[in-house]
Chain A
Amino acid sequence: MEKFKTHNSQAIPLNIANVDTDQIIPARFLKATDKKGFGDNVFRDWRFDKLGDPVSNFSLNNPLYSGSILIAGDNFGCGSSREHAAWALVGFGFKVIVSSFFADIFKGNALNNGLLPVQVSERFLDHLFESVESDANTQFEVNLETQTISIEGTDLSESFDIDPYKKTCMINGYDDIDYLLSKKEIIEAFELQKTY
Chain B
Amino acid sequence: MKKTLFDKVWDAHVVDTVQNGPQVLYIDKHLIHEVTSPQAFNELEERLIPVFRPHKIIGTADHNTPTLDQHLPVKDDLSRKQLAQLSENCSKNNITLFELGHKYNGIVHVMAPELGITQPGMTMVCGDSHTSTHGAFGAIAFGIGTSQVAQVFASQCLLLSKPKSLRVSVNGILKNGVLPKDVILYIISKLGTNSGTGYFCEYAGDVFENMSMEGRMTVCNMSIEMGARGGMIAPDETTFEYVKDREFAPKNEDFNTKVAYWKTLPTDEDAQFDKEYFFDAEDIEPMVTYGTNPGMGIKISERIPINNDPSFEKSLQYMNFEAGKSLINTPINFVFIGSCTNSRIEDFRVAADYVKGKQKAKNVTAWLVPGSKQVETQIIEEGLKDIFNAAGFELRQPGCSACLAMNDDKIPQKEYCVSTSNRNFEGRQGQGARTILASPLVAAVTAIEGKIIDITKQLN
> Which residues on A are within 8 Å of B, measured CB to CB?
16-18, 20, 22-23, 26-28, 30-35, 45, 50, 73, 75, 78-84, 86, 101, 103-105, 108-109, 112-113, 163-165, 175-177, 179-181, 183-184, 186-187, 190-191, 194-196
A179 and B26 form a contact (CB under 8 A): no
A177 and B425 form a contact (CB under 8 A): no
CA distance A33 to B42 in the complex (A): 9
B145 and A86 form a contact (CB under 8 A): yes
Residues in chain B near residue A177, CB distance under 8 A: 43, 47, 49, 150-151, 154-155
Residues in chain B near residue A26, CB distance under 8 A: 427, 431
Assuming the A-B contacts A20-B293, A33-B85, A81-B36, are A101 and B143 also in contact, with contact meaning beta carbons closer than 8 angstroms in the complex?
A: no
B197 and A196 form a contact (CB under 8 A): no
The answer to whether the Cβ of B24 comes within 8 Å of any Cβ in the partner chain is yes
Residues in chain B near residue A165, CB distance under 8 A: 18, 20-22, 159
The smallest beta-carbon distance between A196 and chain B, in angstroms, is 5
- Dominant SS at the B interface? loop
The answer to whether the Cβ of B39 comes within 8 Å of any Cβ in the partner chain is yes
A31 and B82 form a contact (CB under 8 A): yes
The smallest beta-carbon distance between A104 and chain B, in angstroms, is 6
Pull 16 A–B residue pairs with CB atoms less than 8 Å apart, ordered by A: A18-B293, A18-B311, A30-B63, A31-B35, A35-B42, A50-B431, A79-B129, A80-B423, A83-B147, A105-B144, A108-B145, A165-B22, A175-B147, A187-B24, A187-B156, A194-B12
Residues in chain A near residue B81, CB distance under 8 A: 31, 33
Most B-side CB within 10 Å, residue of A103, A181, A196: A196
CB nearest neighbor in A for B44:
A177
The answer to whether the Cβ of B281 comes within 8 Å of any Cβ in the partner chain is no
A33 and B38 form a contact (CB under 8 A): yes
Residues in chain B near residue A179, CB distance under 8 A: 18, 159
CB nearest neighbor in A for B47:
A177
Residues in chain B near residue A101, CB distance under 8 A: 194, 197
CA distance A120 to B143 in the complex (A): 26
The answer to whether the Cβ of B426 comes within 8 Å of any Cβ in the partner chain is yes
Residues in chain A near residue B145, CB distance under 8 A: 81-83, 86, 105, 108-109, 112
A163 and B423 form a contact (CB under 8 A): no
Assuming the A-B contacts A176-B159, A196-B12, are A50 and B432 also in contact, with contact meaning beta carbons closer than 8 angstroms in the complex?
A: yes
The answer to whether the Cβ of B161 comes within 8 Å of any Cβ in the partner chain is yes
The smallest beta-carbon distance between B158 and chain A, in angstroms, is 8
Find A113's partner among B64, B76, B147 (CB 8 Å cutoff): B147
A33 and B39 form a contact (CB under 8 A): yes
CA distance A191 to B35 in the complex (A): 29
The answer to whether the Cβ of B127 comes within 8 Å of any Cβ in the partner chain is yes
A186 and B229 form a contact (CB under 8 A): no
The smallest beta-carbon distance between A58 and chain B, in angstroms, is 12
Residues in chain B near residue A191, CB distance under 8 A: 26, 156
The answer to whether the Cβ of B411 comes within 8 Å of any Cβ in the partner chain is no
Starting from the known contacts A23-B427, A164-B21, A190-B15, 4 additional A-B residue pairs (CB-CB under 8 Å) come to: A18-B193, A45-B426, A79-B423, A83-B146
B426 and A22 form a contact (CB under 8 A): yes
The answer to whether the Cβ of B59 comes within 8 Å of any Cβ in the partner chain is no
CB nearest neighbor in B for A15:
B310
Find A109's partner among B147, B193, B227 (CB 8 Å cutoff): B147
The smallest beta-carbon distance between B428 and chain A, in angstroms, is 5
The smallest beta-carbon distance between B30 and chain A, in angstroms, is 14
CA distance A186 to B36 in the complex (A): 28
